[in-house]
């Protein structure tokens, strides 16, 4: 009897079952608004025409403020041909589901938001005020800072892309100011047969430093790289696949290198516990006449004691007979290339957002994108911002677990 019961149970267990079909995620049509940049130092645009075409082909609607891409030499016609809708007034863009901008929103732009939207832009937390954060909180928005967004490897894709551009461009800038065209000493950056190559000193072996090194080597210059980390110097050597002069940042060694350098690139991001600068004024004083300093790190205070912020219109100044280029946001100098780089990242993020059915669903599963969220539906989620402005915050991971 027991055997028959067992057999019977086994038969029941082996009976055909109903097929369980995958439940497809409900796609969501997005209305995306791209605002025109209103900062004099910002020439980039959040979405290039090719990214707009990709989004429109996938069923989304993209609103472009008139002349939004003008500074990057993207015409309104290109956006229209890609399927975007050009709007003369920004008022309709402020009602979009997602607001895209490269530079942070201005306080008056936040006032124009309808609320409960998604904002994707830079944050630049060190330059923001408590009023700025509070205005966003009142609007109950979900705000993502693209400098905080991580990829599958937990790297920062936007920061890396912009650092690559800044590093490579810094060498090209130095080449301009060595030439006669910009009243330089009339030297070609690099080297040709029978002539000693240009000496380039690069302070920093991160992404910007690596790409500055690659560009300088490609032009034939002799390069010396300094950093505070042996690990970063070793990684740089391995990434380049060749051996170059590298050194830990020792003042005596650096001073000796800068004495004969034609170009010095400041490409190291100073931590909070570091001094305000790495290179003292007396070291700049001993550099060769009409040599060039390009301080990529001026966005974060600069590497040199002699550095002072300049603009694209008045890019250089001379101190101790050394030309200083200290313009923040070097990628904006090559805005078209930088806009393509941003669009490659933002376009895919927006596609995934639509396919997942909304921001809540996406940031639950995408920890890299989640790290970019600093306000979630009107709740501050970054502790360092909360500490700076004495505001309450909640951890985004805990919020995701609750929803």
Q: Are 209 and 285 part of one and the same domain?
A: yes
Q: Quickly state the pLDDT bin for 15 (edges 50, 70, 90).
A: low
For residue 245, give the CATH number of its domain.
Answer: 3.40.50.720
Q: Are 191 and 288 part of one and the same domain?
A: yes
Sign for the pseudo-dihedral over CA of 125, 130, 133, 135: negative
305, 328, 351 - which closes a domain? 328
Residue span of the structural domain in which 180 resides:
159-328
Report the percent of the chain where pLDDT is more than 70. Answer: 92
> Which pLDDT belongs to residue 291?
97
Its pTM surpasses 0.85 = yes
21, part of any domain: no
Q: How many domains is the chain built from?
A: 2
Q: Which residues contact 358 (CB under 8 A, 6 or more apart)?
A: 28
Q: In this structure, are residues 274 and 300 in contact, taking their beta carbons and an 8 Å threshold? A: no
9, part of any domain: no
280, 307, 328 - which closes a domain? 328
Taking the C-alpha atoms of 176, 178, 181 and 185 in order, what is their torsion angle to the nearest 10 degrees?
A: 180
Q: Are 45 and 71 part of one and the same domain?
A: yes
What are the pLDDT digits (tens) for 335-373?
A: 999 999 999 999 999 999 999 999 999 999 999 999 999
Query: Above 50 in pLDDT, residue 222?
Result: yes
281, 302, 328 - which closes a domain? 328
C-alpha 219, offset from chain centre: 26
Q: What is the mean pLDDT of the chain?
A: 91
Report the percent of the chain where pLDDT is more than 90. Answer: 81
Distance CA(170)–CA(189), nearest Å, equals 12
What are the pLDDT digits (tens) for 194-213?
A: 999 999 999 999 999 999 99
Q: Are 72 and 118 part of one and the same domain?
A: yes
C-alpha 149, offset from chain centre: 9
317, part of any domain: yes
> Which pLDDT belongs to residue 20?
54
């Amino acid at each position: 009897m027991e055997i028959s019961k067992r057999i019977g149970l086994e038969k029941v267990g082996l009976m055909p079952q109903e097929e369980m079909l995958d439940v497809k995620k409900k796609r969501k049509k997005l209305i995306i608004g791209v605002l025109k940049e209103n900062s004099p130092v910002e020439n980039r645009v959040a979405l290039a025409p090719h990214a707009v075409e990709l989004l429109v082909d996938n069923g989304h609607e993209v609103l472009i403020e008139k002349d939004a891409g003008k500074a990057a030499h993207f015409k309104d016609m290109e956006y229209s041909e890609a399927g975007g809708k050009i709007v003369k007034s920004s008022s309709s863009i402020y009602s979009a589901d997602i607001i895209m901008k490269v530079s942070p929103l201005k306080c008056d732009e936040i006032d124009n938001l309808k609320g409960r939207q998604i904002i994707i832009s830079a944050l630049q937390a060190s330059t923001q005020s408590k009023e700025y954060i509070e205005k966003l909180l009142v609007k109950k928005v979900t705000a993502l800072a693209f400098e905080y967004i991580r990829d599958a490897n937990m790297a920062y894709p936007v920061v890396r892309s912009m650092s690559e551009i800044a590093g490579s461009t810094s060498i090209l800038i130095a080449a301009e100011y060595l030439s006669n065209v910009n009243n330089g000493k009339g030297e070609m950056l690099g080297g040709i047969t029978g002539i000693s190559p240009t000496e380039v000193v690069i302070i920093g072996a991160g992404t910007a430093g690596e790409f500055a090194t690659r560009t300088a080597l490609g032009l034939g210059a002799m390069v010396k790289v300094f950093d505070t980390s042996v690990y970063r110097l070793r990684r740089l050597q391995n990434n380049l696949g060749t051996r170059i002069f590298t050194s830990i940042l020792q003042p005596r060694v650096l001073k000796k290198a800068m004495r004969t350098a034609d170009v010095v690139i400041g490409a190291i991001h100073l931590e909070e516990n570091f001094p305000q600068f790495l290179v003292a004024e007396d070291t700049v004083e001993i550099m060769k006449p009409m040599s060039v300093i390009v301080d990529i790190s001026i966005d974060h205070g600069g590497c040199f004691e002699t550095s002072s912020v300049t603009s694209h219109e008045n890019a250089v100044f001379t101190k101790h007979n050394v030309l200083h280029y200290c313009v923040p946001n070097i990628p904006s100098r090559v805005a078209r290339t930088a806009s393509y780089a941003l669009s490659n990242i933002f376009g895919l993020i927006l596609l995934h957002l639509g396919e997942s059915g909304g921001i809540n669903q996406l940031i639950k599963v995408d920890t890299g994108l989640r790290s970019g969220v600093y306000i979630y539906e009107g709740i501050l989620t970054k502790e360092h911002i909360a500490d700076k402005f004495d505001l309450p915050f909640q951890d985004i991971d805990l919020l995701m677990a609750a929803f």
